Amino acid sequence: MSETEASRVRNGDVSWWWRQLGGAPAPRAALAGDLDVDVAIVGAGYTGLWTAYYLTRAQPDLRVVVLEQRFAGFGASGRNGGWLTNTVTGGRERYVETRGRGAAIAQQRALNDTVDEVIAVAAREGIDADIVKGGELDIARTPSQLARLQAAVADEQSWPHTDVELLDASAAASRVAVDGVLGGVWHPHCARVHPAKLVRGLAAAVEGLGVPIYEQTRVREITPGRAVTDRGTVRAAHVLRATEGFTADLAGEHRTWLPMNSSMIVTEPLPASFWDRVGWTGRETLGDFAHVYMYAQRTADDRIAFGGRGVPYRFGSRVDTDGSTQQRTIASLAELLRTFFPDAADTPIAHAWAGVLGVPRDWAATVGHDRSTGLGWAGGYVGTGVTATNLAGRTLADLVLERDTELTRLPWVGHRAKRWEIEPLRWSAVNSIYTAYRMADRAEASGSSARTAWPAHVADVVAGRH
Ligand SMILES: Cc1cc2nc3c(=O)[nH]c(=O)nc-3n(C[C@H](O)[C@H](O)[C@H](O)COP(=O)(O)OP(=O)(O)OC[C@H]3O[C@@H](n4cnc5c(N)ncnc54)[C@H](O)[C@@H]3O)c2cc1C
Q: Strands of 360-445 (E only): list them.
A: 366-370, 375-379
Mapping DSSP to helix (H, G, I), strand (E, B) and coil, where does residue 463 land?
helix
pLDDT score for 434: 72
C-alpha closest to that of 11 among 310, 306, 326: 326
In short, whether 323's Cβ falls inside 6 Å of ligand 1 is no
**Residue 44 C-alpha from the chain's centroid:** 15
pLDDT score for 450: 58
CA of 262 to the centre of ligand 1 (A): 11
pLDDT score for 245: 94
Residue of 202, 246, 249, 314 to mutate, ligand 1, most atoms within 8 A of C-beta:
246
CA of 275 to the centre of ligand 1 (A): 31
CA of 43 to the centre of ligand 1 (A): 9
R_g over Cα of the chain: 21
In short, whether 214's Cβ falls inside 6 Å of ligand 1 is no
Q: How many CB atoms lie within 10 A of CB 409?
A: 13
Q: CA 132, 135, 138 angle in degrees (round to 5)?
A: 130
Residue of 357, 359, 377 to mutate, ligand 1, most atoms within 8 A of C-beta:
357
pLDDT score for 3: 83
* CA 426/CA 421 separation, integer angstroms: 5
pLDDT score for 315: 64
Q: What is the DSSP string of 52-72?
A: HHHHHHH-TTS-EEEE-SS-T
Residue 149 · residue 421 · CB < 8 Å: no
Task: Provide CB contacts within 8 A for 123, sequence distance 6+.
Answer: none
pLDDT score for 158: 94
Residue 172 · residue 280 · CB < 8 Å: no
CA of 240 to the centre of ligand 1 (A): 15
CA of 245 to the centre of ligand 1 (A): 6
pLDDT score for 466: 42
**What pTM does this model have?**
0.95
Mapping DSSP to helix (H, G, I), strand (E, B) and coil, where does residue 458 land?
helix
pLDDT score for 318: 64
User: If the chain, 466 residues long, is cut into consecutive pieces of 10 residues, what is the mean pLDDT of each piece?
Assistant: 90 96 96 98 98 98 98 98 88 87 94 98 98 98 96 94 97 98 98 98 98 98 97 98 95 90 96 98 97 95 92 64 90 96 97 94 94 98 95 98 98 92 75 75 74 61 52
